[in-house]
Amino acid sequence: MKLDFGGSVEDVVMREEFPLKKAQEILKSETIAVLGYGVQGPAQALNMRDNGVNVIIGQRPEEKHYWQKAIDDGFVPGKSLFSLEEATQRATIIQYLISDAGQMAQWPNIKPHLKKGDALYFSHGFSIVYKEQTKVIPPDFVDVILVAPKGSGASVRANFQAGSGINSSYAIFQDFTGKAKDRCLAVGIVIGSGYLFPTTFEKEVYSDLTGERGVLMGALAGMFEAQYNILRKNGHSPSESFNETVEELTQSLIRLVSEKGMDWMYANCSTTAQRGALDWKGKFRKAVEPVFEDLYDSVKTGKETEIVLRVNGAPDYREKLEKELSEMRNSEMWKAGTAVRSLRPENWGKKK
């Protein structure tokens, strides 16, 4: 389906034109190994299994939490749950879904088990685009494909169970078999994509790393903290500061944006809010554009990659991560958030 974005036309693949039955037919003789049962792995694996695809899991047994999670989800050691290496050997499509740092670390163990005609699948362009740093260089006898859901694993699974699907991007890096695109789109459909839009490995990783560090997570959290702190500094209570910073956005306004766009959200707010937002929007854009320029340059030059591989690959990464998240969780702002969320109508009468 061709979509016109104000003069820029894109070929978007909808489920109606690439139905589940077609995807199942393409994949009927394939065995798909999901390597890594952490963030994206469970959602994609369970959605494919529910869609009747032959799925096995590759997971390091020493990572007991994830190994047990796979068992709890119905995968059986020796039958549908294996080590990373054995799952790769048994499969024809290998979904490489362990962390980016983990992909670099495990690649020497995975690569020898790839077979002629296999498809190596990613949900992030990181390892391929930054191959000088990761050393993840696929052999020339495999397809290399990408489907990147635009949401967390939890969202991929929840949307699938709700029957709505999630939008995903797709890309072909290497087409050895001549069937790479069909395999790619078929897997994109069976993991629960509502529609798929084309990209490249490079564009996917540049946009993804910028988005995560920017609007989607880093900038959002930073702006929350800045506004909350200013309100508190000027004598507003924690509950008022949190409601005006986070709660109203997440429980009301962002839903209007999701429904019909930012103009629709503006149209459904007071004229005072409309005027102020329109007047200040440009000031915020000018203020943050230099930060986004720095961010995109850091992504494109590989500086962000160097940080990810060095920090996330450290043996004490989990402990340090928990310390950072704990500091956020225990800040006044997010403690206020816990208290405010408990007052939502759906939580009335529940034990705190």
The tokens for 47 are 């959605």
Q: What was the pLDDT predicted at 67?
A: 97
In angstroms, rounded to a whole number, what is the distance separating the alpha carbons of residues 82 and 79? 8
Cα angle value 259/264/267 (rounded, 5°): 145
Question: If 0-12 CB within 10 Å is exposed, 13-18 middle and 19+ buried, where does residue 345 land?
Answer: exposed
pLDDT surpasses 80 at 55:
yes
Tokens coding 136: 């993840």
| Dihedral-angle region of residue 235 (phi above 0 means left; psi in -120 to 50 means alpha; beta otherwise) | left
Residues 258-283 have a mean pLDDT of 95
pLDDT in tens, 16-51: 899 999 999 999 999 999 999 998 999 999 999 999
**Which amino acid type is present at position 48?**
M
The predicted-structure confidence for 103-114, as pLDDT tens digits, reads as follows: 999 999 999 999
Backbone φ and ψ for 32, nearest 5 degrees, come out as -105, 120
**pLDDT exceeds 50 at position 292:** yes
- Kindly state the average pLDDT of the residues 251-256: 93
CA distance 38 to 70: 9
Distance CA 16, CA 195 (A): 9
Query: Greatest CA separation found in the chain?
Result: 67
Please report the pLDDT score of residue 279 as a whole number.
96
pLDDT of residue 298: 97
Residue 250 has pLDDT above 80, yes or no: yes
* Angle in degrees, CA 181, 51, 154, rounded to 5: 90
Domains of the chain: 2-199 (3.40.50.720), 214-347 (no CATH)
Give the confidence band of 351 by pLDDT, cuts at 50, 70, 90: low
* Rounded mean pLDDT, 265-285: 95
- As beta bridge partners, residue 169 has 148, 197
Q: Which residues are known catalytic residues?
A: 124
Q: What is the pLDDT of residues 102-157, one digit of tens each?
A: 999 999 999 999 999 999 999 999 999 999 999 999 999 999 999 999 988 999 99
